[in-house]
Structure 1
Amino acid sequence: MRDLILFLAFVGIMPFIFKRPVVGAMAFAMVSLMNPHRLTYGSAQNFPFAMYLCLATLVAILISREQKKIPMTPAVLVMLLFFTWYTVGTIFAQVPNGAWTDWERYAKTMLMVFVTIMTVRTVSDVKVLALTVALSLGFWGAKSGVFVIVSGGGEGLHGPFDSFISDNNTLALAMVTITPLLVYMASRAKTKWAKRAAMGMAGLTMLAAIGSYSRGAMLATFAMGFFLWLKSANKLKTGLAFVLIVPIVFSLMPPQWTGRMHTIQTYDEDASATGRINSWHFAVNIANEFAIGGGPNVFTPHMFMLYAPEPERYYDAHSIYFQVLGELGYFGLAIFVAMFVTTWRTAGRIIRHCRDNEDQSWALMLARMCQVSMIGYLAAGAFLTMAYYDLIYYVIAIVICLDKVLVRAPQKDDTPPMQLKFVERYLERRAAKKSRKASLARPLNRA
């Protein structure tokens, strides 16, 4: 039954993609982030929905008469530069076969992110994009939050298999990153019940992040809370809320969870933590040896035997920063960090632009929540190998699209083309009429 529903939805959305390519970009984002086919048990489980949605969207773009433009903003340029450098690193990779496999997956993500930026043209498109991204992972957040409650702590929590978020740690990063967008969704809900449902989903998603037994997720939660406290209009109330909530959450979690969180202070006695430090030293050694890094998928047992301080202790990168450092070198890491700096500055410009405009309060809230999402990702990512996870690139795309439709060319997106031409002609005729009246009045005034 699930397979049939998914296939019917897939076939039913095709005409809308050819009518408006942005629909295809949204559908691809949902499939890529949510992985609905992993919830089926038949032929739909391994059907390449994402590939066919990508192809249909690209064909729709070619035949569509809509304006197709990617704004060459600093955030877009840095993202393009990062993908170019990633490609260079792949060409000269130390493990070519694995590198090109990783490149293919990352190239698909970047292609559709840029397609999304290109096809989003209106304010409504941006709102739907934010809603699509939020709900796609909010589904797994709500499902996982219920599991934490039912299981009494969340041990054994997993995401969709054969995906970026299949294990508890990677799922935790996704839950931390998406929670601010769910809070935005709740703030814009039109009805009381929709607001309650959205807040419930946000609460369950944050509970899933905490109950995942991920220490990185816990640190990221505190980092986001500190940022929200700094930006809060009423710091006293916000601070009191955190002071009350944190002890309650800690008291409700099982002893196993508390014991794992306490290992943050005794990392030097934890085998997992010391293994990660060995991987980080490996990344530094690779970056020192190769100017462009070792290339994607360089964290392999063979390379560890050559460059790791403890060759027998093979671990993955366990950090987005050391992952990029080992794979793309120091310059690649600098571009990676610059991508978030430029996106943060773009979000800041949107906030300043919308601050005094009540009609654009939704955009101000969305830009701020995207900043909080980036904080969560950058904090939790310090301990996870998720540098190329598509969720954070969609968060960046939301910020770029907000800048595109609100700051750079709002009048073109909010007014239909024919209506815009009619308004322009009307204003031109009115100005010409006033000019003629003024010229006729001048001789009378002189007399």
Structure 2
Amino acid sequence: MRDILVTLIVFASLPLIVKNPVNGVLMWIWISVMNPHTQGWGFATTFPFAFIIAVTTIFSLAISRQPKTLPPSGITVTLIAFILWMNVTTLFAIFPESAAEQWNKVMKIMLMSLVTMAVIRKREDIQRMIWMLTLSLGYYGVKGGVFTVRSGGTERVWGPDNTFIGDNNAIALALIMTIPLMRYLQQSSNKRWLWHAMNAMMVLSALAALGSYSRGGLLAIAAMLGFMWLKSNSKMTGAIVLLLLAPPLLLFMPDRWGQRMDTIGEYQSDDSAMGRINAWHMAYNLAKDRFFGGGFELAEPSTFLLYAPNPDDVHAAHSIYFQALGEHGFVGLGIYLLLGLLTWRSADWIVRNSRGIPDLAWAGGLAKTIQASMIGFAVGGAFLSLLYFDVPYYLMAAVAAIRILVERRRAELAVPAAVKPLRPAPATAGAAR
């Protein structure tokens, strides 16, 4: 039944996609982020829904009368540079066959990320994209939260098989990134039922993240909540809410959950943690030896034999940063970090330049929300191989689109751009006299 339902939804959406490529982007996000076909048991689990949606969306964009240019943004330029550099490093890959297979997957994600940038231009399109991301991942938050409550926290929460978020650590991070989006959508509405629904979704998603037993997830949620509290307009209320909610959620989890979290400070005695550090050393040593890095798919015994302190402990990178370093060298890591920095600075610019303009309040709120999500990803991603996870790239596209809308609105109002205040220069002795 689930297979038939997903198939009907996808094929029913194709005429709507042809009519408007924005619908194609939304359907692509639903299929690629939520992976609803994995919730079935029959033919839908392997049916090429994503390919059909992607081809239809690109066809719709080609015949559409809307502009087909990418947003003029440093984010856009840097993302294209990252894509081009990945193509270069693939030519020098240590394992050409497995690298080519992974290249095919990654380039599809990057192509649709660029399509998203070209298509998502209006406020309503951005809002619909945020809704789709939130509901796609919120489904697993509600499902995992209910599972955690029913099991008393004794069983781990996992994501859908054979997806980016299938691992317990990955689903935890994805949910942590989504909680700020839930809060933004809640604050954007005055409907009481939606407020209650989002409150329930946020609490259940937090429980699901805790129920994943992810230590990196615990660090990520702490960083994300800390940032949201710092940026909140009512810090006292936020502190009270955190003090009321955090202890019950933590006390609900069983003793073995607490024992696992306690090992964060004892990583030297944890085989998993030491395996990750060994993989990080391998990536660093390889990048020093090979300017172009090793290309995709490096976790092989031969690379660890050459570059790892412990050649017998073969692990994936388990870090977006060391994954970029090992696969694409120092240049690739630098481009990736620049992409994150430009996204952060653009979001910060949006926050500053939307202040005092009532019809841009949504832009500032969403920009701060995306910053909170990116903080969670930056912290949690330090322990996961999620360099190509598509959700951060969609959020980057949203930031690029929001900035253009803010610039356009300020130009209409003839308001000069806000300048970040500089620290006052220290008074000199002469000035004092």
> Above 0.5 in TM-score?
yes
Residue-by-residue CA offset, 1:119-152 (whole Å, 9 max, x unaligned):
1232111111111111111111111111111111
1:112-191 matched pairs, under 5 angstroms:
112-153=112-153, 155-191=155-191
State the 1:284 CA deviation. Answer: 0.9
Residues 123, 411 of structure 1: CA spacing in aligned structure 2 closer, same or farther, 3 A cutoff?
A: farther
State the 1:410 CA deviation. Answer: 8.3
- In structure 2, how many angstroms separate the alpha carbons of the residues matched to 1:232 and 1:245? 17
| Residue 331 in structure 1 maps to residue 328 in structure 2 | no
Q: How many residues align?
A: 412
Match of 2:101 in 1: 101
Match of 1:38 in 2: 38
State the 1:247 CA deviation. Answer: 2.7
Match of 1:87 in 2: 87
Residues 190, 234 of structure 1: CA spacing in aligned structure 2 closer, same or farther, 3 A cutoff?
A: closer
Tell me if the contact between 1:154 and 1:212 (Cα under 8 Å) persists in the aligned partners: no
- In structure 2, how many angstroms separate the alpha carbons of the residues matched to 1:373 and 1:303? 34
2:126 counterpart letter in structure 1: V
1:39-438 matched pairs, under 5 angstroms:
39-153=39-153, 155-408=155-408
Residue-by-residue CA offset, 1:255-305 (whole Å, 9 max, x unaligned):
110000000111111111111111111111101110111111112122112
1:40 counterpart letter in structure 2: G
Residue-by-residue CA offset, 1:417-442 (whole Å, 9 max, x unaligned):
xxxxxxxxxxxxxxxxxxxxxxxxxx
- In structure 1, how many angstroms separate the alpha carbons of the residues matched to 2:191 and 2:245? 26
Residue-by-residue CA offset, 1:340-376 (whole Å, 9 max, x unaligned):
1100111112112221122222222111110000000
Match of 2:27 in 1: 27
- In structure 1, how many angstroms separate the alpha carbons of the residues matched to 2:18 and 2:272? 50
Residues 17, 315 of structure 1: CA spacing in aligned structure 2 closer, same or farther, 3 A cutoff?
A: same
| Secondary structure in 2 matching 1:391 | helix
In structure 1, runs of 5+ residues without a counterpart are 413-447
Quick check: 247-256 or 173-182, which moved more?
247-256
- In structure 2, how many angstroms separate the alpha carbons of the residues matched to 1:387 and 1:183? 25
- In structure 2, how many angstroms separate the alpha carbons of the residues matched to 1:206 and 1:370? 18
- In structure 2, how many angstroms separate the alpha carbons of the residues matched to 1:178 and 1:243? 21
Match of 2:426 in 1: none
State the 1:81 CA deviation. Answer: 0.8
Residues 33, 411 of structure 1: CA spacing in aligned structure 2 closer, same or farther, 3 A cutoff?
A: farther
State the 1:411 CA deviation. Answer: 8.9
- In structure 1, how many angstroms separate the alpha carbons of the residues matched to 2:206 and 2:369? 14
TM-score, normalised to structure 2's length?
0.92
Larger Rg belongs to: 1
TM-score, normalised to structure 1's length?
0.89
| Secondary structure in 1 matching 2:398 | helix
Tell me if the contact between 2:68 and 2:119 (Cα under 8 Å) persists in the aligned partners: yes
1:325 counterpart letter in structure 2: L
- In structure 1, how many angstroms separate the alpha carbons of the residues matched to 2:168 and 2:342? 30
| Secondary structure in 2 matching 1:298 | coil
| Secondary structure in 1 matching 2:265 | coil
| Secondary structure in 2 matching 1:70 | coil
Match of 2:420 in 1: none
- In structure 2, how many angstroms separate the alpha carbons of the residues matched to 1:165 and 1:263? 23
Quick check: 188-197 or 164-173, which moved more?
188-197
1:95 counterpart letter in structure 2: F
Residue-by-residue CA offset, 1:146-204 (whole Å, 9 max, x unaligned):
11111111523211111011121111111111111111111123411112112211221
State the 1:409 CA deviation. Answer: 6.8
1:39 counterpart letter in structure 2: Q
- In structure 2, how many angstroms separate the alpha carbons of the residues matched to 1:17 and 1:410? 32
C-alpha RMSD over aligned residues: 1.6
In structure 2, runs of 5+ residues without a counterpart are 413-433
